[in-house]
Structure 1
Amino acid sequence: MMIKYIVQHTQLAEKNIKSTVQLLNEDCTIPFISRYRKEATGNLDEVQIADIVKYKELFEALEKRKIAILKALEEQDVLTEDLKQKIVNTQDLITLEDLYLPFKKKRKTKAETARKNGLEPLAKIIMSQKANDIESIAFKYVKGDLSSVEDALEGARHIIAEWINERTDIRNSLRNELERHAQITTKVIKSKSADEKAQKFRDYFDWSESLSRIPSHRLLAILRAESEGFIRVKIEVDAVRVLERIDNRIIQSQNACADQIELAISDAYKRLLFPSLSNEALQKAKEKADESAITVFAKNLKQLLLGSPIGEKRVLAIDPGFRSGCKVVCLDAQGALKHNENIYPHAPKNDSIGAIKKISSLVEAYKIEAIAIGNGTASRETEALIRKIQFKNDIQVFVVSEAGASIYSASKIARDEFPNYDVTVRGSVSIGRRLQDPLAELVKIDAKSIGVGQYQHDVDQTKLQKQLDVVVENCVNAVGVNINTASIPLLSSVSGIGPKLAENIFNYRNENGAFTSRNDIKKVPRLGGKAYEQAAGFLRIRDAKNPLDNSSVHPETYKIVEKMAKDEGVSLQDLIGNKTILQKIDLKKYYTETVGLPTLQDIIKELEKPGLDIRETAKVFTFNQNIKTITDLHEGQLLPGIVNNITNFGCFVDVGIKESGLIHVSNLSDSFVKDVNEHVHLHQQIIVKVLEVDVARKRIQLKLHK
C-alpha cells in the first residue's frame, strides 16, 4: 500500500522507491543514500529521495489516523464491513474525515438538542417527502421544551441540516465550487486605516481576487494584515448557485416537506457547510502558499550556504558603526581570534587618521590577507575609509552580509566559543568567518534569522524548520567537513552524526588531539557502526596517511581504489590526481554486487580532483561610490548590485544604500519568467537599471541589465 501510494504521488519507479524506503527504514540519511547508494535507488537525487520521505510520512500519518478512527467506531459499535473497507481504502485525509464525520462525538449542537426532544422521526418523515400536511404531523411532537409546531419543525430542520452537512457528495460539490470559483476579498477596518503600520498593507484595504490564483506572497501578506488587525478577510462564492445544486440533489417533491427541506438546506449551508469548507479552502490555499514560500526560502538558503568562501586566509573583520565606533578583530587562517579593539573614524569622534594608522599596523602585524566589512550601519563610510589606505601588499576588501550576526553573537554557541568577550567582538568574528567559510559560520545561526525568506514567520513553522534542516544537511554534506577544525554545529549537520555525537567528536578531539585517519573516528564514544557508515564519506582528514581519508571516497570502497592502483602498477598516491591513468581505467572490471557504474564514476571524478570544493572562490565587489542614499538615485542609472533576496515575485538587490531595490519578475527578462532562480542567484553580482524611485515610500524599482 505504501509503495503504491508513493508511486502515485511521485511517479518514480516502484523498484527504486522500494529500495529507498528500505534504506530509510535502516536509518540511512538522504545525503548518504543519494551519494553512496545510487545503484540501489536507480540514481535518485536528494530532491527525489526527499519526496519519497515526504510521502512515506504522509502515508504513515494517514494510516495512524485510520487506526484511531476504526478503534473509535468499534467502541461506538457502528463499524460495518462496508464502512471499514471504505476507511481502509481511503487515500487522503479529507475523505477519511468526511467518512468519520457522522460518527464523530460532537459538542452540544442544535441537532443533538432536537434529537433529545424526540424529533428525529419527524425529520425522517420530512426527508421522505411523502407527507402533505406536515404541520399536523409536527403538532404530535409539541411537548416538553417544544411549545409550538414551529419549534418542532425548526428542531427537525436542525437534524436535517446536520444530515446534509455530513453528506460526502454535497461536501465535495461545495469543495469543487470553492476550488474553482472562490474569491478572497478584503476590507480595511476603518479605525485602523490611518495607523502607520497599516500603510504597508494599504494595497489590500479593498481587494478581491480568485483564491485559486492568488500568488503565495500576496495571500501571506493579506493573512498577516488580518492577524495584525488591519483588515477583514472573507471567502465568497455564488451562494444562489450552490444552494440550487444542493436543492437539486435532495428535493424531489413540491409539497410542504420540500419547503422545510429548502429551509434546512439554507441553514446547513450558512451555519455548517460554508463556514467549515470555506475555512478548509483557505487553509488549503495557505498550505499551498506556505509550500511555495518555504521552497523559495530553501532555495535561497542553499545558495547562501554554498556562497563563495575566501578559504583559509588571515582576515581583519570590521563591524562598522558611528557613535559606538567600529569593532575590529583579527583572525588567523583557521578563524581563531588573535586581536580585537575599537576604532572611531566616523562622527562624532571623526578620528579617521588614527583609524587608518591602526588598521595599517594591524594588517602588518597579523599578516592580514583580506578585510571583511559588515554591511550594516556605516558600512559604506567604513569601506570608503579602508579603500583609501595604501597597504604594502595586495589586500582584498569585501563587504559581508551581517544578517543573523546579532542572533549568533548573543547565542549559547557564541558564549561557549568566546566566554570572555562581549557580543560586539563575537559579531565581528562572525563577519570575518563568514568571508572565510560562509557555510561553517552560518550553520551556527537559526536559518529563519538569516533573512533570505519570504514571510518566513507566517508559514507553518514545523514544516519550515524541517525543510531548512534538510537544506543545511544537504549543503554541509555536499561540501564535506574537516573533522579536525569543524565546530559542534557544523559536525551536527553531518550525515548520521547529530548534536550529541558532534559534542562527543569535539570532546574526543580536545582530549586526544587531531584525528589522523578515518578509522580513528570509530574510537569516539557512542559512535557506532551505523553512524560511521553514514558519516565517514563526508568527514575529511587533511594530511592523513591514507590520502583517500581527505576525499569523498567512502571507506567501504577503498579496496576497489587500491585494486585500481595495483592493476595500473602505481601507488595509491600516484593514482590520485593522475587524469591520464584514471580516464583509461576499464570500470567494468571493478563491478561488485553493490557497486556499479554510478558509484565508480563518482570515485573516478573524485580521484581526479580529490577534496575539490564545489563552491566558487569569493570575488571582490565594489558599489558605485557616488551613491550614498536613496536620493542619489535617478531613473535610467546603471548600477552594480548584489542580489540579496529572492522571492516568487522577483529579487531584491543591494546597490550600496540602506534600501534594497526590487527587480520585479516582469523586469528580469523580456520573455516569460517561470522561475526567478533561473535568471539570478543569491549574492550574484549584477548590473541593474533604475526604473523608478519612490523616496517617500522608500521603494526602488529596478530592471536586470544584460
Structure 2
Amino acid sequence: MDEQTLRQIAEQLELPLKQVRAAVELLEAGNTIPFIARYRKEVTGGLDEIALRAIEDAVERENALAARKTTVLKSIDEQGLLTDSLRKKIEACTDIKTLEAIYLPFKPKRRTRATIARERGLQPLADLLLSAGKLGKSKKDVLASYVNAKNEVPDGDSALAGALDIIAEQWSEEPETRTWLAEKSMKFGKVTSTIKRGKKTAEGAEKFEQYFDRQESAGRIPGHRLLAMMRGAGEGLLRLNVQLEGDRELTDLKRKLVPNRNGDFANELLDCVDDCFERLLMPATESAVLAELKERADEEAIEVFGKNLHELLMSAPAGPRVTLGIDPGFRTGCKVAVIDGTGKFLENTTIYPTAPKNDTQGASASLLRLIKKHNVELIAIGNGTASRETDAFVGDVIKQNKLDATKVMVSESGASIYSASELAVKEFPDLDITVRGAISIARRLQDPLAELVKTDPKSIGVGQYQHDVNQTRLRKCLDRTVESCVNQVGVDLNTASVSLLSYVAGIGPKLAEKIVAYRDEQGQFKNRKQLTAVPKLGKKAFEQAAGFLRIRGGDQPLDGSAVHPESYPLVEQMAKRLKTDLKAMVGNATLSTKIRAEDFVDDRFGLPTVKDIISELGKPGRDPRQEFRAVKFDDALNSIEDLRAGLVLEGVVTNVTHFGAFVDIGVHQDGLIHVSQLSNEFVSDPNAVVSVGEVVRVKVVDVDVERKRIGLTRKF
C-alpha cells in the first residue's frame, strides 16, 4: 500500500504511522489478527485486536474506494466526458459517498423526463435558460426556435416543459445541493411513521402500536426505534418518511438556484425549483437520510450483538464434569442425555414428569438410575417449554435423595437449529433430533464456547433486529467475535470439534476437517510438531495456529501453554539459567518469578514477548473465563402470573441493548431493566455495568401479563 494511503489511515484512526505501516505489512503478508496481537507486539508497538481490526477495515475501505474510482473513471471516459479537472476531482476523493455524488450525473440511468427532453434536442434551450437573463426578444420567439414536430416538440410550451425537466434533473444531481439538503434534513428534519390505511387491525400490527403516529428528530432518533419503524414498513404496516417543517429550505434553494429574478424566464425557473424540490430532491434526500440513519443503526445494533456474543461465549464453563442434559417437554416428555467430562455421549432416555402423564415416580426412578450409574455431577435443564416444571421436579429428586449434584438452567436458544444441522447429524447419526438437543444443552453447561460455535450466532438470541441489519457486516462482526474468543481461550487439539478448530487463527473449515480426520486415523496428537504432518497444513498455517492449540500431557510441556513454538529455544535458555528442566519450570509460579525479563531481550524477542512468556510459564494454558456460578431461581415462581411488584429475585442477563438489559428470572419471559434502572449512578452504556451471562439481583417494578412485559430495577 502506498505511503499516502497509509498516512490517511493513520490520521483517520489517530495512530502513529509507524504502527499502521507495520500492521499493514503483517496483514499483507498473510498474518491473522489474533497472531499479530499476541505474537508480534514488538513489530506493531503493542497494537491490540481492536486497533488491528480498525486498520484492517480501513485498508479494505481504501482498496474498495480505489477499485470504485477505476470503474467510475473508465465509465465517464467511455462516454467521452472525462476532463482533466474531473479526473483530478475523482482521484482526490477520500470517501465513497463523495465519489458517488460526483459520478451521479454521469451514471447510466433509466429513461427520465429529462432524458426524453434531451433526445428531442432541448438541452441547448435548457442551457440558454440557465445562462441568460434578458434575451432581447419575446419568450415566444425564443421557444419557437426549438419547436420541431418530428422530435415530438409540437409547440413552445412543450419545448419549455422539456427544457425545465432537464434543468430540474441537473439541479437535483448537483453534489453540493444534495449534500446541503441532506445535512439540513438530518439537522432539522423529522422521521415520521404512520399506520397505513386499513392496517391498524392487521395481524402483527399490535407490535408496532407505538409507531402508528410517531415523530422523531432525524439527527437524534435512537437506532433501535428506527429499525423497529423500518421493520414495520417492511411488513407493509407502516409508512416511513423524512419531513422538513416550513419552507425555509425551499426558499434558500430558490435564492441559490435562481439568483436573477429579473430574467425573462425567472418565474418559470422558480416554478422549476418547486418541481425539482418536491419531485426529485426530497425523495432522493429522504432515501439518502434514511440510508445513513440505517447505516448508523446497523452499526449500533451489530456492535451490541458483538459485545453480547462475546460475553456469552466467554461465559464461565462448568468444566469437564459428567453432565446430564434435559430438553424439557410436556406431551412428548423430557429428553435426557448423559455425557462424560469430555462431552462424549454415554446414554439417553425419555421421562414424563410433567402433564399430561405426570409420571413423577417413573421419571424419578429413571433419573436416579442415570445419576448414580454415571456419577452425574451437573444437571443442565433447557429453559424452553416446561423448563420450570422440570426444574422443580429435578430439585425434588436431588433433595429427596440427598444427591451431590447441581442443577442449572441453560439457554437453549439455537439448540434446535444445531440439532437439525448437518453437523449434528454427522456427529450423532443414530440419535433422535431431540436427544441431540439434550446433548447440546449439557455441553453448553460444560463449555459454552466449544458448543455454541456449532450454531449460527444469529440464532443464539443475544441481539435485536439481527435480520434487519446489513447481513454482510453482521456476519463479519460475529465471525470476528467468535474468532477472538476461541483464540483468547485456546483450543485442546485432541478434543476440539471441526467447528471449534475452524476458528483457530490460520486454520479455517477445510484444514479443521483435515486435522480431525488425521486425529481419527492416527490417534491423539503427542506434540504440536505433528500438525505439520496433516495434509495441506503448511508452514504459514502452523505458524499462525500453533500458539492457540493446546496438547495436555504430551511430549513437550510447553505444548499445553500459549507459548509459541518459535519461542521454545528462549524458554530453554531460561531453564538453563535457572539450572532446571522445562518440565519442572512449566506451571511453577515460584520459578517464573525468578526470571528477569530484561536478561532475555534480543533482536528477535522484545520485552513484551518475554514478559508474556514468563507470565504464561507461571500459569500455563490459563482459562481467561470467570469461575462458574449457577443462578438460583425462586422455586415458587413458574410463570409471569406468579410475579408481583416488590419481589426481589436472582436472574441471569440474557441480552444487553442501548436501552437496557433483559434478564431471565425463571418465568419463561425475560424482564427488562431500563437503562435508567441499572444503577443509582448515571449510565450511558449498559454494557459498562452488566454483561450477558452475569448473575444479578433485581426487584420487580411492574408486571403486564397481557402484553407479557416485566419491568425490573437494580435500584433498591
**Range class of TM-score, shorter chain:** over 0.9
Question: Quick check: 1:670 aligned with 2:680?
Answer: yes
Residue 127 (structure 1) aligned with residue 130 (structure 2): yes
Pair 1:230 & 2:233 matched: no
Aligned partner of 2:19 in structure 1 is 16
Could you list the per-position Cα deviations for residues 14-38 of structure 1 after superposition, in whole angstroms to 9, with x for gaps in the alignment?
1111111111111111111111111
Match for residue 470 of structure 2? 460
Q: 1:137 aligns with which of 133, 142, 166?
A: 142
- Number of matched residues? 706
Q: CA deviation at 1:353?
A: 1.2
1:221 equivalent in structure 2: 228
| CA distance in 2 between partners of 1:446 and 1:75 (Å) | 45
Structure 2 residue matching 1:522: 3-state secondary structure: helix
Match of 2:272 in 1: 264
Question: Which residue pairs with 2:518 in the alignment?
Answer: 508
Read off the aligned partner of 1:567 and give its amino acid letter. Answer: R
**Does 2:65 correspond to 1:58?**
no
Give the counterpart letter for 2:585 in structure 1: L
Please show how residues 208-357 of structure 1 align to structure 2 within 5 Å: 208-238=215-245, 240-253=247-260, 254-357=262-365
Deviations 1:599-620 (A, max 9, x none): 1111111111111111123212
- Equivalence for 2:421: 411
CA distance in 2, matches of 1:112, 1:330: 72
Out of 376, 385, 390, the residue aligned to residue 384 of structure 2 is 376
CA distance in 2 between partners of 1:30 and 1:636 (Å): 48
Change (3 A) 1:697 1:392: closer
Other-structure match for 1:606 = 616
What residue is the counterpart of 1:581 in the other structure?
591
Please tell me whether the aligned partners of residues 309 and 457 of structure 2 are also in contact (alpha carbons under 8 angstroms): yes
Q: Is the 8 A contact 1:410 1:423 kept in 2?
A: yes
Q: What is the distance in 1 between the residues matched to 2:317 and 2:259?
A: 74
How big is the shift at 1:536?
0.2
Residues 458-515 of structure 1: CA deviation (Å, up to 9, x unaligned): 1011110011000000000000000111000001010000000000000000110100
Question: 2:458 matched to which residue of 1?
Answer: 448
Q: What's 1:205 paired with? A: 212
Picking from 474, 483, 498, the partner of 2:508 is: 498
Answer whether contact 1:127 1:257 (CA < 8 A) is retained: no
SS of residue in 2 equivalent to 1:312: coil
Query: Is contact 1:165-1:171 (8 Å) kept?
Result: yes
1:164 is matched by which residue type in structure 2? W
- In structure 1, how many angstroms separate the alpha carbons of the residues matched to 2:433 and 2:521? 28
Name the amino acid aligned to 1:233.
L
Report the Cα distance in structure 1 between the residues aligned to 2:203 and 2:147, rounded to whole angstroms.
59
Provide Cα deviations, 1:361-389, integer angstroms capped at 9, x if missing partner. Answer: 11111111111111111111111111112
Identify which range, 113-122 or 430-439, moves more after superposition. 113-122
- Aligned residue for 1:686? 696
Residue aligned with 1:689, SS:
strand
Is 1:549 the counterpart of 2:542? The answer is no
Match of residue 73, structure 2, among 67, 70, 74: 70
391-400 vs 402-411, which moves further: 391-400
Matched, 1:472 2:479: no
5+ residue gaps, structure 1: none
**Equivalent residues of 1:125, 1:131 under 8 A apart:** no
- SS of 1:639's partner is strand
How far apart are residue 579 of structure 1 and its match?
Answer: 2.7
The amino acid of 1:138's aligned partner reads L
User: 2 CA distance for matches of 1:266 and 1:88?
Assistant: 34
The alpha carbon displacement at 1:105 in A equals: 2.2
State the secondary structure of the residue aligned to 1:219. helix
Whether the 8 Å CA contact 1:300–1:645 is kept in 2: the answer is: yes
- 2:588·2:618 contact (CA, 8 Å) conserved in 1? yes
| CA offsets 1:654-697 (integer angstroms, 9 cap, x no match) | 11101111101111123321111111111111111111111111
Q: 38, 44, 47: which one pairs with 1:44?
A: 47
Q: Matched residues in 2 for 1:513 and 1:84: separation?
A: 63
Q: 1:414 and 1:504 mapped to 2: Cα distance?
A: 18
What CA deviation, in whole Å up to 9, does each residue of 1:403-427 have, x standing for no partner?
1000000000000000011101100
Write the letter of the residue equivalent to 1:161. Answer: A
Aligned AA for 1:447?
A: P
What is the deviation of 1:140? 2.2
Verify the 8 A CA contact 2:661 2:674 in the aligned structure 1.
yes
Task: Give the 3 Å change call, closer, same or farther, for CA 185–527 of structure 1 in structure 2.
Answer: same
Q: For 1:501 and 1:609, locate their aligned partners in 2 and report how far apart those are by CA, in whole Å.
A: 29
Counting aligned pairs with the same residue, the percent is: 47
Structure 1 runs of 4+ with >4 Å offset = none
Give the distance between the partners of 1:60 and 1:278, measured in 2 at CA: 29
Bigger shift: residues 580-589 or 419-428: 580-589
SS at match of 2:27: helix
2:85, 2:711 → 1: CA distance? 61
Q: What's the secondary structure of 1:342's corresponding residue?
A: strand
Q: Which runs of 5+ in 2 are unaligned?
A: none
- Of residues 629, 648, 654 in structure 1, which corresponds to 2:639? 629
Q: Distance in 2 between matches of 1:252 and 1:280?
A: 27
- Offset, 1:142: 1.9
1:157-213 per-position Cα deviation (integer Å, ceiling 9, x unaligned):
111112212222212211221221121001111311012411011000000011111
Q: Does the CA contact (< 8 Å) of 2:679 and 2:715 recur in 1?
A: no
User: Counterpart of 1:151?
Assistant: 158
Aligned pairs (5 A) from 1:160-179: 160-179=167-186
Task: Quote how far apart the aligned CAs of 1:518 are.
Answer: 0.5
Counterpart Cα distance in 1 of 2:299 and 2:182 = 21
TM-score by length of 2: 0.97
Tell me the TM-score normalized by structure 1. Answer: 0.98
Secondary structure of residue in 2 paired with 1:493 = coil
- Counterpart contact for 1:157–1:263, Cα < 8 Å: no
Conserved in 2, the CA contact under 8 Å of 1:405 and 1:427?
A: yes
Structure 1 residue 85 displacement after superposition: 1.0
1:564 pairs with one of 569, 574, 584: 574
Corresponding letter in the other structure for 2:86: L
DSSP-derived class of the 1:308 partner? coil
Spell out, residue by residue over 1:608-634, the C-alpha distance to the aligned partner (whole angstroms, 9 max, x if none). 111111112321221111112212111
Partner residue, 1:525: 535
Whole-angstrom CA distance in 1 between matches of 2:680 and 2:157:
67
Cα distance in structure 2, aligned partners of 1:123 and 1:42: 60
CA RMSD of aligned residues (A): 1.3
Q: Give the aligned residue type for 1:299.
A: K
Is contact 1:184-1:208 (8 Å) kept? Answer: yes
Q: Tell me if the contact between 1:331 and 1:432 (Cα under 8 Å) persists in the aligned partners.
A: yes
Q: Quote the offset at 1:69 in angstroms.
A: 0.8
Which secondary structure does the structure 1 equivalent of 2:204 belong to?
A: helix
Query: 1:392, CA displacement in angstroms?
Result: 5.6
For the residues of structure 2 that align with 1:438 and 1:41, how far apart are their CA atoms? 32
